[in-house]
Structure 1
């Protein structure tokens, strides 16, 4: 009965997702196929702006724009004043990190699997201020952050603890809730990147214990590219300062030589943004909530189990995640075939996948002795037949590579 229910759910997802008729899409970790509701919302707003101009169209859409903030707050488990929108998760994360007054003696503890743009902004602080950037230890048995050892690293000099729920180079889920429960100084903010989790897992400020939680709209939520959101705890709203760049949406010019910045999360927003994209993000959140994040996760997990079993059955293929640990996606390598070459062969067969290299996961990959991996990330719209087709192409590619050497 469970398989029948999940099959009905996948069919429903596919009925609402026109792109499934064009390709076999296995790169939701990069950008999911948008549902019809998102595309229709975006196009309708663009057409309205063409008819009456962007500002008039914005005034007409104000209630719907307010509803997007309400929807985002519901998804991330906070109040509306704690939500900030921006062009992406990495930009919002960086704006918040760089807004923090930090002394040169500060320590920032960071996961070795942290997202590249987050690492870059931490390195900027290290180079500009001389702060200490230290990598959180890994449990050799699980490959995850060692919570007990991490606890011993936190002291009065620790100003930030930075961890992704799931990285982009490995689908394993980090113990973010346990890390968030660790004692830390009042000035130590917990930065959590939910990019590869939100939309397929119930991740909120409360469930993670985060002071800052970010995610983009384009991945598991299947919203427009160029839209992201950030939720800030009460503590972070107090401790974070002005953004590195000010904007009249987040700050007011109060006197010829004075200004005042908002106290809520909107201080990080900008006046210029895509109304169509923002409304599309709202449609994506509404769609995910209507379908049920738990239902989405169950369908994804079912497909990942099928794909993992199939990949492990191909001689010469190494899968880097344990499906029993409920990863968000799978990464793998095929002997005798470069990741980029295998990705191209899959693309030739109409199958969309991805590779991840050192440029996006340098610390993690160097520690694991990797330079690049293939990534397969089905969504709830992926069928058993599509997964079988993917596995057949991988098996053929590996066999061909073996016979040509």
Structure 2
């Protein structure tokens, strides 16, 4: 069980009377994360960025080690990035595509991923096709199996959509895709830090995630995992003197591991903060944190579902820490703003972010509440009471 008092004491963003329910957007970092970032920025101001970075080379290597521990892999399979989108795109654009190749995307896929897929399809002659959802809203495994053939080059899977608590059956889907010879790219942006991510068990070729959400790291951080064989074989669309070496007037040699997907220039302070956030999660015990998030989200689903005029919009069988809902007669943006007036932070997920799913359900937007383990049950009750008062 998570030490609730410890995590609250470690979270300076918790204020008297405030309720924070937006860890699916950008969570409140623990104190040591903020202190790590500020301390390095201060050191840069004293001796310059190069010297300050050289002092922390071991710590920077430790960031990859911490992430690798969380994912059950090795540091050489991890590329650090400035966002989940950057990591996802860097892998996606490195996959060779030809006319007639097929790209399969899930119905709840995120707008950035879908736009990238459509752009590459236009440029290469490939096709983008949607994997149907089953009656519960999850990815339809049987339908996916029926779609597979030797033209499917890549399957884009979304672990947890941005607009609700659905959890997709990633391992089962990845197994089907891999057996057919397709690459599997997993968007774990909304699952890293709140759900188990064992890349060996999931069986994916690549996985992208952000630091600012459930991992509680700084903004401007993210990472990409690559299966070892791919980390040493795929050529990124962009290289620099970190991802490759200039070996002759007309030649270069790429880094032998996932670092070929990194650039030399980066925010050192932010990366150190990401490492602090992941280590904090490991110290607390990931399974305990995951259980605490799940318990709080399930509590909200039940409490909100009991309110007249409130409809919980979460699909699926297994649920994440995201709770989506609407209030009859009140637009989601108005719900958000009125709650903010009571110092309660939620956010709104709009149709444009998950166009296929929201259009199929006839929804323009939903309110999104995402409680982390530092949110108390008294705060959850205050939030439910405020929604009831609407």
* Residue 204 of structure 1: how far off its partner (Å): 2.2
**3-state SS of 1:145 partner:** coil
Segments ≥4 residues shifted beyond 3 Å: 183-187
Of 175-184 and 59-68, the range deviating more from structure 2: 175-184
Aligned equivalent of 2:329 = 336
Checking the alignment, whether the CA contact within 8 Å between 2:165 and 2:315 is kept in structure 1 is no
Aligned with residue 271 of structure 2, among 278, 282, 286: 278
Q: Deviations over 1:91-136 (max 9, x none)?
A: 1111111112211121011112112211121111111112011100
Of 377-386 and 97-106, the range deviating more from structure 2: 97-106
**3-state SS of 1:366 partner:** helix
Aligned mates of 1:26, 1:271 — CA distance in 2: 35
Aligned equivalent of 2:304 = 311
Alignment of 1:1-400 (within 5 A): 9-21=3-15, 23-140=18-135, 142-182=136-176, 184=178, 187-237=181-231, 240-241=234-235, 243-321=236-314, 325-397=318-390
Q: Deviations over 1:137-156 (max 9, x none)?
A: 1112x110110110111111
* Residue 183 of structure 1: how far off its partner (Å): 5.3
* Residue 283 of structure 1: how far off its partner (Å): 0.2
Aligned mates of 1:299, 1:313 — CA distance in 2: 22
**3-state SS of 1:21 partner:** coil
Checking the alignment, whether the CA contact within 8 Å between 1:107 and 1:133 is kept in structure 2 is yes
* Residue 288 of structure 1: how far off its partner (Å): 0.4
**3-state SS of 2:92 partner:** helix
Q: Deviations over 1:286-334 (max 9, x none)?
A: 0001111111122112212221122112111110126973323110011
Give the length in aligned residue pairs.
389
* Residue 354 of structure 1: how far off its partner (Å): 0.6
Pair 1:99–1:53, CA change in 2 (3 A)? same
Aligned mates of 1:355, 1:66 — CA distance in 2: 37
Checking the alignment, whether the CA contact within 8 Å between 1:105 and 1:132 is kept in structure 2 is yes
Checking the alignment, whether the CA contact within 8 Å between 2:321 and 2:371 is kept in structure 1 is no
Question: RMSD across aligned C-alpha pairs, in angstroms?
Answer: 1.5
Q: Deviations over 1:229-263 (max 9, x none)?
A: 1110034335522x222221101122222222223
* Residue 280 of structure 1: how far off its partner (Å): 0.3
* Structure 2 unmatched runs, 5+: none
Pair 1:386–1:250, CA change in 2 (3 A)? same
TM-score in terms of structure 1 length: 0.93
Aligned mates of 1:54, 1:319 — CA distance in 2: 48
Checking the alignment, whether the CA contact within 8 Å between 2:138 and 2:316 is kept in structure 1 is no
